[in-house]
Structure 1
Amino acid sequence: MKLQTRYTDISELLAIKDMPSTAAKPQLLLFNDKLADNFSIKHDSEFLAKLLSGSTIDNAVAPVALGYSGHQFGHFSPRLGDGRAHLLGAITDKDGTLWDLQLKGAGATVFSRGGDGRCAIGPAVREYIMSEALHALGIATTRCLAVVTTGETVYRNPPRPGAVVTRLAKSHIRVGSFQYLATQGDIEGLEKLVDYAICCHFPEINSTDEKRYIDFLTAVQDKQIELIVSWMRVGFIHGVMNTDNTLISGETIDYGPCAMMNNFDFDTVFSSIDHQGRYAFGNQPTIANWNCARLAESLLLLFKDEKQALTDLSAVINSFSTRFNDAFNFMWQKKLGLESLEEDDHILVSELLTLMKQHKLDYTNTFNLLTESLQSPVTIPANIKEWYKKWFLRTSTQSYKTMRAVNPAVIPRNHNIEMIIGEYENSGKSASLEAFLKVISNPYIYKAENTHWYEPPKEGDANYQTFCGT
C-alpha cells in the first residue's frame, strides 16, 4: 500500500500535519476484502490493525487534518475541520484513480475544539454497513475499508468500546473547503482548489478564465442533483446536510444521523438534533440548492467584476429547480415503469404518494410490490386498488425490467442496523452481519426466503432517533 501526499500544496491552511494517537490494543474487526482487492491490499490482520488504527505510520507521508468551514443547520462556523479524522494519504486503485485513505476516530486533532477525537463502535459499524449498502444500491458514496477496535473505552453516555473507521473517498474536498479558504481570504489557495477539484472530478471542463468557475459550479450542482435524486429513489435521509458534509464529487459522506424511510412521508425526520425538520426527506433538494449557493458565494472572490459574477453565478443557482425537477420526474418515470411521461403523469405520481402517506404504506415494499405484480400474482392493498388499475394500463412489457432496476427489494432498515450494532456493543461480535451484508449486496433481487430482512419494524419507527457519531 503506497501512500501519496495530497492537498498540502494547495494551501498551508487546508492540510495541517497532525499525528493520530496510538491505540491500546488494536484489532481488525471488519475488513472489506472485495474493496481491498481493488487496491491490491492484502488481508494481513496484525499489520492492518496497527496501520488502520493510527498506531503505525508510514514515515514517507505525513498524516494531515483537513480544514474547512461549515453551515451547520444554517449557522456558519468559520473554522471546523477534521476534529476526529486523520488523512493518512492517497492510494491508487487498479484503474489508476487516487482515493483518500482517512482514519476516523484515531484521536484529537488541531481542529478538535476540546473533543477527544474518538469514535465508538456503534457509529463505526453503522458507517461500514450504510456505505456498503448505498454502494450496492448504485448511489455515489465514500467507502469503508475497515473497522478496527482500539481496546479502549470511549466516554459517551453510556461509555462504549472504541473503534476507528477507515474511509476511502475520491476526495474530501467539500463545499466547506471553499468556504474556509474564502473566509481566510486565501485567493491563491481558492484558485488552486478549484483547479485541483476539476482535475480530480471534472476533467471534461476545459474552459479558461472566469468561465471555468461557472462551469465548475454547474458541474458540482449537477452532481448534487444526481445524488439527491438517488437518495430519494430509495428513501435515504442523510440527516445532516451541512456544507461541511457536502462533497464536491457528489459522494455521500458522514453516516451519523442517517436513516432509511419506512412509511412514506416527505416530512420524515430521524435525526435527534434536527428539531425543525431542516433536513427532512422532502427538504433534501432545497438544502442541496442552498449548499450550492454557498459554494457560489465562495467562488465570487475569484471574479474581477462582482456585478457580472453575481449575474452569472445566480443563473446557475437559479437553474437548480428546473434541472432537479427534470431528473426527479425521470426518476418517477423509472420507478413506475412508464415508457414516457405524459402530461398528466404528475397526477398519477401525486395520487399514489398521497395514498401512501394517508394509509402509512411502506415506501420500499410498496414499489417492490408494484414491480413484482407485473411478473406474478400478488395481493394489492385495498386502499390503492383503484389507483393500481389506472397505473397498470400505463405499463408495458418492458416495465418490469425497468422497475426492477431502480426499486430495491431490500434496504438497510434502521431496526436491522440497530440490532447489529447492539450485538457488537454487547459482545464485540455479530451473528447477523454476514447474512445481512450478503442480502443487501444484491438489493434489486427479490427472494422470498429473505422476507425477514424486507419487513419494516413491527412496532413502527415513530420514536426512532439517530444521533451524530461524535
Structure 2
Amino acid sequence: MSRIPQSTLSLQANFAADLPELSIPWQAEETPEPRLLVINEPLAADLGLDPEWLRCQDGVGFLTGNRVPEGAAPVAQAYAGHQFGSYVPRLGDGRALLLGEITDPAGQRRDIHLKGSGRTPFARGGDGRAVVGPMLREYLVSEAMHGLGIPTTRSLAVAATGRTVLREEGAMRGAVLTRVASSHLRVGSFQYARNHEDPAVLRRLADQAVALHHPAAAQDENPSLSLLRGVIRAQAGLVAQWLLVGFVHGVMNTDNMTISGETIDYGPCAFMDAFDRNAVYSSIDTGGRYAYGNQPAVAQWNLARFAEALLPLLDEDEDRAVALATEALGEFPRAFGTAFSTGMRAKLGLPADSPDETVGRLIDDLLALLHQDHVDYTQLFRRLGQAARGDLGPVRDVFTDRPSLDSWLERWQSFSPDPEAMDRANPVYIPRNHLVEEALEAASADDMAPLHRLLEAVSDPFRERPGLERYAEAPPEDFGRYRTYCGT
C-alpha cells in the first residue's frame, strides 16, 4: 500500500474553509513530556501513515497537535445540543481540536481530531485536558466496536502529555486521544447553524453533509429531505446494532449524534453483562434517560431535533416543512424494527424467509426470559449456538423458568437454526467492564500488557481462541454495580 511521505504530510482544511462560522482557529496546548502509550498500526496503515514515524518525536508531536504540518489550520468546532433534554445553544469543542482532514490511499476523506488538547473558547470553565483512563477507554471500546462491525469513530493513538491533571479522584496523568472519523458533523452542528444570524450557513452545512455522507441526495428534488431520511436510516441501523450487542452509549445528547451514522464519544459507555432493559452505567444519568432499552426512543427524539433544524431547507412554507419532517420521522420505528429484527434473526440462526410475526414473538419472548433471570447477554447467544448443535445443557443451566424456556427452545428449534451462522453473528469477546477496569488500572501504573491483551481479544471478537478463555467469562460475583464517568 502506498504511503504519504511523512516529510510532505499535509492536512486539508475543508471544514475550516467552508464553514468558518462554525469554528474558531485554535492551537493545541503544549505538552511538556509527550509519550506515546498506544498506537493503532492497522488504522495508521489505512490512512497511509507510517507507524514508525508516528512513534518518533515528530510523529508524537503530530498526534498531540504540537507539530502540525505546514499549512494546517486546526479549529475548535462550534455546535449546540440538547444535553439530557435541556438545550444549550453554545457547546463546541471545549477540549478538542479538528487538526484537519486527510485523504487516505483509497481516496476517502477522514478527519484527524484531538481530544484533551487543552482549553478552547468553548471550554466553559473546564481545564480542556483529559486523563489517561478515559482516553484509553475510548481507544479500547471504539476498536471493539470496529471489530464488531458497528459504524464508529476510531482511535489512532493515545499519548501521555507529561502533565498532572486534577480531578475529583485526585491528581491524574494527562493524555491526548487522536481520533479519526469520516467527519465530526453532528445534530448539534445543525442546531447551532439554524440559530446563526446568517441563514446561508445552514444551507452550506447541509450541502457539506450531503457531499460527505449522503451524496445520492444531491440528485433528489429535495436534497435536504433526502439528507434527513438518510440520517434517520443510518441512526436507526446504528442503534439497532448497539442493542444487538448489549451496548449502552450512556450520553446520547444531540451533540453526540453524528450525521455519518458513526458512534462517537465513548465517555460513560459500557456493555451489558446481565441482560436488563433498564441498564444504566453513567454516573450522571440518574434518571435513566439513556438506559439500554430507551436508546431507540432517544434516537428518534434527537432526530426530531435534527428535523427541526432543517425545517427552513425542507420547504419555504413552514406547515409544509413540518409535514415533510413528520412524515420522514415516522420512518424511524420501521427502519429500527427492521434492522433489529434482521440482526436478531442472524443471532438466532433463523432463515431469512421465516414469518415476521412468528419471529417477532420468538424474539420478544426470549428477551422477556433474559430480563426475568438477568442472564448474561453475550454468553447466552454463544450457548444457543451450542444448543443448535444439540447440547441444550449450557442454556438450560442459566434459567430458572425451565418450562417457559423449554417451550421457547422447542419453537426455536422448529426453524432448524444454523449454528455456523450464529457463530458469525454472536461475539465471544466484548470489552467486559471488569476487564476494562483491570486494563485501565494497570495502564495507570504504566503496565500496558493487560490493555493489549484485551485489545487482542475484542479486535477479533467472533473467533474463539485458546488462551483467551477469561475474556469470555462473566464478571466475578464480587464485581458489584458498575459505574462509568465522563472524565471531565
Query: TM range, normalised to the smaller chain?
Result: over 0.9
Identical aligned residues as a percent: 42
Measured in 2, the distance between the counterparts of 1:395 and 1:449 equals 34
> Residue 395 of structure 2 aligns with which residue?
380
> Residue 424 of structure 1 aligns with which residue?
443
Measured in 1, the distance between the counterparts of 2:312 and 2:165 equals 42
Asked if residue 201 in structure 1 is aligned to residue 213 in structure 2, the reply is yes
2:272 pairs with one of 255, 261, 266: 261
> Residue 284 of structure 2 aligns with which residue?
273
Measured in 2, the distance between the counterparts of 1:391 and 1:208 equals 46
> Residue 25 of structure 1 aligns with which residue?
33
Measured in 2, the distance between the counterparts of 1:319 and 1:38 equals 35
- Which residue type is aligned with residue 379 of structure 1? P
Is the 1:53–1:106 contact (alpha carbons within 8 Å) kept by the matching residues of 2? yes
Query: Which shows bigger deviation, 308-317 or 178-187?
Result: 178-187
Structure 2 portions without partners, runs of 5+? 1-8
In the TM superposition, 1:70-85 aligns within 5 A as 70-85=81-96
Measured in 1, the distance between the counterparts of 2:388 and 2:127 equals 54
> Residue 4 of structure 1 aligns with which residue?
12
Is the 1:10–1:189 contact (alpha carbons within 8 Å) kept by the matching residues of 2? no
Is the 2:182–2:260 contact (alpha carbons within 8 Å) kept by the matching residues of 1? yes
Measured in 2, the distance between the counterparts of 1:453 and 1:262 equals 12
> Residue 384 of structure 2 aligns with which residue?
370
Asked if residue 358 in structure 1 is aligned to residue 399 in structure 2, the reply is no
2:114 pairs with one of 91, 99, 103: 103
Is the 1:98–1:170 contact (alpha carbons within 8 Å) kept by the matching residues of 2? yes
SS at match of 2:395: coil
Measured in 1, the distance between the counterparts of 2:250 and 2:409 equals 36
Per-residue CA deviations over 1:164-186 (Å, capped at 9, x if unaligned) read 00000000000000000111233
Per-residue CA deviations over 1:204-245 (Å, capped at 9, x if unaligned) read 223355x11111100000000110011111000000000000
> Residue 342 of structure 2 aligns with which residue?
330
Asked if residue 310 in structure 1 is aligned to residue 322 in structure 2, the reply is yes
**Deviation (angstroms), 1:440:** 1.2
Measured in 1, the distance between the counterparts of 2:349 and 2:116 equals 44
**Deviation (angstroms), 1:448:** 5.2
Is the 2:380–2:395 contact (alpha carbons within 8 Å) kept by the matching residues of 1? no
**Deviation (angstroms), 1:87:** 0.9
Per-residue CA deviations over 1:406-427 (Å, capped at 9, x if unaligned) read 11111111111111110111x2
- Which residue type is aligned with residue 453 of structure 1? Y
Per-residue CA deviations over 1:383-421 (Å, capped at 9, x if unaligned) read 35514531442343x612321221111111111111111
SS at match of 2:145: helix
Is the 1:351–1:387 contact (alpha carbons within 8 Å) kept by the matching residues of 2? no
Query: Which shows bigger deviation, 110-119 or 70-79?
Result: 110-119
Measured in 1, the distance between the counterparts of 2:367 and 2:378 equals 12
Specify whether residues 185 and 314 from structure 1 end up closer, same or farther in structure 2 by C-alpha distance, changes over 3 A only.
farther
Measured in 2, the distance between the counterparts of 1:429 and 1:109 equals 32
SS at match of 1:230: helix
> Residue 348 of structure 1 aligns with which residue?
362
Is the 1:338–1:394 contact (alpha carbons within 8 Å) kept by the matching residues of 2? no
Measured in 1, the distance between the counterparts of 2:152 and 2:73 equals 26
**Deviation (angstroms), 1:106:** 1.0
Measured in 2, the distance between the counterparts of 1:63 and 1:257 equals 27
Is the 2:439–2:451 contact (alpha carbons within 8 Å) kept by the matching residues of 1? yes
Is the 2:10–2:72 contact (alpha carbons within 8 Å) kept by the matching residues of 1? no
Per-residue CA deviations over 1:139-172 (Å, capped at 9, x if unaligned) read 0000100001111101112211000000000000
CA RMSD of aligned residues (A): 1.6
SS at match of 2:173: strand
Measured in 2, the distance between the counterparts of 1:424 and 1:449 equals 21
**Deviation (angstroms), 1:461:** 5.8
Specify whether residues 376 and 411 from structure 1 end up closer, same or farther in structure 2 by C-alpha distance, changes over 3 A only.
farther
> Residue 143 of structure 1 aligns with which residue?
154
Structure 1 portions without partners, runs of 5+? none
State TM-score, norm by structure 2. Answer: 0.92
User: What is the number of equivalent residue pairs in this alignment?
Assistant: 467
Specify whether residues 47 and 387 from structure 1 end up closer, same or farther in structure 2 by C-alpha distance, changes over 3 A only.
farther
Is the 1:23–1:54 contact (alpha carbons within 8 Å) kept by the matching residues of 2? no
Per-residue CA deviations over 1:96-123 (Å, capped at 9, x if unaligned) read 1010001111110111112111000001
Asked if residue 320 in structure 1 is aligned to residue 332 in structure 2, the reply is yes
Measured in 2, the distance between the counterparts of 1:423 and 1:373 equals 37
Query: Which shows bigger deviation, 254-263 or 454-463?
Result: 454-463
Measured in 2, the distance between the counterparts of 1:165 and 1:345 equals 43
Measured in 1, the distance between the counterparts of 2:145 and 2:325 equals 32
1:390 pairs with one of 410, 413, 426: 410
- Which residue type is aligned with residue 105 of structure 1? G
SS at match of 2:193: helix
- Which residue type is aligned with residue 402 of structure 1? A
Measured in 2, the distance between the counterparts of 1:153 and 1:400 equals 51
SS at match of 1:146: strand
> Residue 177 of structure 1 aligns with which residue?
189
SS at match of 1:380: helix
**Deviation (angstroms), 1:29:** 1.0
Asked if residue 456 in structure 1 is aligned to residue 474 in structure 2, the reply is yes
Measured in 2, the distance between the counterparts of 1:463 and 1:186 equals 49
**Deviation (angstroms), 1:94:** 1.6
> Residue 22 of structure 2 aligns with which residue?
14
Query: Which shows bigger deviation, 458-467 or 83-92?
Result: 458-467
